Structure 1
Amino acid sequence: MERIDVSPGGGCRGVISEHVVYFTGHVNQQDDTVAGQTRGICARYDGILAQHGWSRDNVLFYDVYLDDASKRDEFLSVFQEWMGGRVVPGRITQAVCGQPKEGFPFHVELSLWVAERAPESIQRIKLRDDACMTIYGDVAYIGGLTSDAGGSAAQQLREIYRYYLTVCGTYQLIPTDMLHAELMLEDTGDISELQEAWAELAGEDGPAGNIVGGKSPASRGQVELTILAGANPNRSLRRFDVRDGWSGCVEYGRSVYFSLLSAPTPEEAFQRYDGLLADHGLTKSDLVLVVAEGSEAMTYDALFGPFLAWSDPEAPAAGIVVRASWPEGTASTAVRFLAEKPGVEEEYLECAPIETQVHQNRAAVRTSGRLAQINARLAQAPENMQLYLDKGLMLRRQMLFREAIENYSAGLTYNPQYSLLYRYRGHAYVNIGQYQEAAADFELALRLDPENWDCWYHLGLAYYLMGQYQRACKAYRECLARSTTDESKICTADWLCLTLMQLGELDEMRQTAMIITPEMVPGISREYHQRVLVYNGTNTPDEVLPRIETLPDHVFATASYGIAVYLDKVLGQHERAKQLLHSIAERTKSWAGFAEQACRVALARQA
């Protein structure tokens, strides 16, 4: 933290924190109009910015107080001309500025927030109507969110918040990462209904901030929302004292945002903040920006004097002291702070390295000439869905599952309603352990073709491997109801029995297993048949296991995985079951099979 131009009396012109310069509110009394005073203030800022190597290009946000908010457009016409078309968000509130002992009254007080770093590091975005946003460092500054939709202030707020969600989606911000917000009302009689709506919208993720009166009638609608939002999801964010959609305090990295704290007198307000600062390990010297508002009935000295007396004269914060028109019966003083937590290491979460996310390596295996022929045909007929199915099958036979997934996805760009591409892409996702993606594909395929037995079967498998056994049960029951051959009944009953074992539903498991008899014709489900005959008591594990130990890897895995689950969940022979799982895992040639996948998942959960 660095302070600019500390005065002997205990004030300062600005404070630099987290590479943002927060300026004290500036005034000018060389003119009796809003336009004239704004020009004078802007000229003064030109000199200050140039003195420190900055310019108008560095301006991020403005906070302005007008003694008459209906003069909003008069201020904006001068300020926007001074900014030269640069997009800059801000807020305009009605409040009475300082009280000069002579000369014209102050109509305008303007505080600028300025980027310490090069202007090229600022992203400026024009949103709708008067709304705009700057993104700099780890914070997005959003101002001018209004709505001219009909209805109450609460209804307008809901529409504004929906638009805020749209902005977040467009610019990759997390909506719940609000740091500070101010809701400005034109009519404070609507405050109760508005607060109820805000509590519903923000919930437990409410920012620091408050609802204030003083919104300019010249801006659209009854409500205006200004938001500071986190723009780096890897930065630590903690909320304290959350109630009714507001946080008493939000810590974001080293920055600490406090909500408006009110009290009957200025002295009491600052005294209460002494305790609040201590609760967060802060002192007065850690303050960056202080905004003190008093009731209109107070004199300026009655508010500014206690503020100056309370401040640390050697390490003052940038400050704004104004008097506002508040509803009758409310507290006479309200104060809010921005602070920087000293000695705190940045709590950034690590980003994943590229090799874990972008799989650049490809299998260096020779593919068949038939694959080249299919590629040539696809170049001529890219809308032929059967070619994608044929190509995917050839790739999967060589265990080129990622390439198969890309192939199915390419086909879906031509026909996103073709259910079989989702079915086979989901299968390939299972093969490489991406079970959530697989389940999503199978669910979508079933929306397109609800009677597809294959999709119900593999959906159950995906949920089983995810550990979502209730959902797996539901899928397998649907699948069993559609099983019309011995082969389909055997393999479906097997996985349903395994799922019921995982859930501890052993009676239902035995009833399901009894559907399968030794006389049934298993087809390619021979190993599943052997497993289910163990579940229903026809055979025992000791009769089956010696016969399967010499089988090829995939056949061994398929035959023995179910026995391992039966040993563990039904017979309670946990160590023997674990040894059998390790025996499957040691055979790696058929790493992509369903039993092999289930084995690895089981061992990972036991680790």
Structure 2
Amino acid sequence: MGHWSRPPRSIVVLALVVAASASAARTQLPETLSLLGKPLVPPPLPAERRRALEADLATARAAYENDPGSTDAAIWLGRRTAYLGRFGEAIEIYTRAIEGHPDDPRLYRHRGHRYITLRKFDLAIKDFRKAVDLIAGKPDEVEPDGQPNAKNIPTSTLHSNIYYHLGLAQYLKADFAAARDAYRLCLGVSKNADMLSATTHWLYMTLQRMGLKDEARNVLEPITPGLDVIENQAYYRLLLFYKGSRSQPSLKSEAAVDAVTIGYALANRTLSDGGTADAVKQMKSLLDKYGDQWPAFAYIAAEADVARLDKPRRPPRGD
């Protein structure tokens, strides 16, 4: 009978490296391509944050498996999956739920959001329009937060989220007239300072892009110092800046997602004032510096603008 011998340490180390590389490759498969052709992998998460999100997902999955016919369980499973950067998987969850509950507007609202994340704007618009039809004549409802704010107070509703994301998807398609209409509807159901700030900000940028400077200034009228904004401080500070009530926000001391929000807004201002080349340069710098923020709305907007506006120059024609 032969004796088993332990493999050399170098082989063990190599095997571990290969296994780790294979695991990393599995977790780093692209979710989609950017509008500029770049593979987009799930953004990195701090270890402690990832563990907490995975625990939340396990709880949501258990609830779904216990009651797979529940729309609420499907929504939370999709949301918890998306928080881990698995956006395509979240879309699949919502799609399966829609097959069983085709008249629930919440499913189209959440799937549409993740279609935006994956740069599938036409599909997003289709979902949000379906959701608009389904909420017609029905009372609004508060939407619970999946990632609660500092005060643990939900700041959005089903109707406001549907109109808000519809406006965003249309903005990203450069259909600014349609985006204006959606944001106007959203303002009508924006009942707190956070939704007022977020909606007004995107409406203001939309009107700027349409060249409607006076109308853009008019939408700033309800924005005053001292509003009780919990989440959307970056939008609020930008609105006060637009109104002349504070100095231009700086990107230096901002969290990455807020830096993207502010950076895009300032570039959009440059673009609206006719400085296309400078605006594109600012946006490209933003995309390069904050690549891990690719699911953020302002990042997607910068990407969409660069894809449309940064056309390669044709070489001069010879004689």
TM-score (norm 2): 0.70
Matches within 5 A, 1:208-227: none
In our comparison, the structure showing a higher alpha carbon Rg is 1
Q: Report what 2:87 is aligned to.
A: 401
Does residue 160 of structure 2 align to residue 484 of structure 1?
A: no
CA RMSD of aligned residues (A): 2.5
Aligned pair count reads 244
- Structure 1 residues 362, 548: CA separation in 2 closer, same or farther (over 3 Å shift)? closer
Matches within 5 A, 1:27-46: none
- Structure 1 residues 383, 538: CA separation in 2 closer, same or farther (over 3 Å shift)? same
Q: Report what 1:442 is aligned to.
A: 128
CA–CA distance in structure 2, aligned partners of residues 371 and 539 of structure 1 = 41
Counterpart contact for 1:535–1:566, Cα < 8 Å: no
Q: Report what 1:322 is aligned to.
A: none
Q: Report what 1:178 is aligned to.
A: none
Cα shift readout 1:272-310 (whole Å, capped 9, x = no counterpart) = xxxxxxxxxxxxxxxxxxxxxxxxxxxxxxxxxxxxxxx
Does residue 286 of structure 2 align to residue 579 of structure 1?
A: no
Cα shift readout 1:2-45 (whole Å, capped 9, x = no counterpart) = xxxxxxxxxxxxxxxxxxxxxxxxxxxxxxxxxxxxxxxxxxxx
Cα shift readout 1:149-171 (whole Å, capped 9, x = no counterpart) = xxxxxxxxxxxxxxxxxxxxxxx
Q: Post-superposition shift, 1:524?
A: 0.8
Candidates 208, 216, 230, aligned match of 1:501: 208
Q: Post-superposition shift, 1:412?
A: 1.1
- Structure 1 residues 534, 575: CA separation in 2 closer, same or farther (over 3 Å shift)? farther
Counterpart contact for 1:553–1:588, Cα < 8 Å: no
Q: Post-superposition shift, 1:370?
A: 4.6
Q: Post-superposition shift, 1:575?
A: 4.4
Does residue 108 of structure 2 align to residue 422 of structure 1?
A: yes
Q: Report what 1:534 is aligned to.
A: 241
Counterpart contact for 2:280–2:305, Cα < 8 Å: no
Q: Post-superposition shift, 1:603?
A: 0.8
Counterpart contact for 1:473–1:499, Cα < 8 Å: yes
- Structure 1 residues 440, 551: CA separation in 2 closer, same or farther (over 3 Å shift)? same
- Structure 1 residues 471, 368: CA separation in 2 closer, same or farther (over 3 Å shift)? same
- Structure 1 residues 517, 376: CA separation in 2 closer, same or farther (over 3 Å shift)? closer
Match of 2:165, as an amino acid?
H
Match of 1:441, as an amino acid?
D
Does residue 302 of structure 2 align to residue 599 of structure 1?
A: yes
Q: Report what 1:3 is aligned to.
A: none
Q: Post-superposition shift, 1:574?
A: 4.0
- Structure 1 residues 362, 475: CA separation in 2 closer, same or farther (over 3 Å shift)? closer
More helix by share: 2
Match of 2:104, as an amino acid?
Y
Candidates 170, 178, 187, aligned match of 1:471: 178
Matches within 5 A, 1:214-293: none
Work out which structure has the larger RCO, using CA pairs closer than 8 Å and 6 or more positions apart in sequence.
Answer: 2
Candidates 168, 181, 206, aligned match of 1:461: 168
Match of 1:558, as an amino acid?
T
CA–CA distance in structure 2, aligned partners of residues 440 and 539 of structure 1 = 39
TM-score (norm 1): 0.38
Q: Post-superposition shift, 1:535?
A: 2.0
CA–CA distance in structure 2, aligned partners of residues 485 and 362 of structure 1 = 35
- Structure 1 residues 461, 362: CA separation in 2 closer, same or farther (over 3 Å shift)? closer
Q: Report what 1:9 is aligned to.
A: none
- Structure 1 residues 386, 508: CA separation in 2 closer, same or farther (over 3 Å shift)? same
More strand by share: 1
- SS for the counterpart of 2:182 is helix
CA–CA distance in structure 2, aligned partners of residues 463 and 475 of structure 1 = 9
Counterpart contact for 2:94–2:107, Cα < 8 Å: yes
Match of 1:594, as an amino acid?
F
- SS for the counterpart of 1:386 is helix
Q: Post-superposition shift, 1:472?
A: 0.5
Candidates 237, 254, 267, aligned match of 1:564: 267
CA–CA distance in structure 1, aligned partners of residues 129 and 215 of structure 2 = 26
Q: Post-superposition shift, 1:515?
A: 2.4
Cα shift readout 1:115-140 (whole Å, capped 9, x = no counterpart) = xxxxxxxxxxxxxxxxxxxxxxxxxx
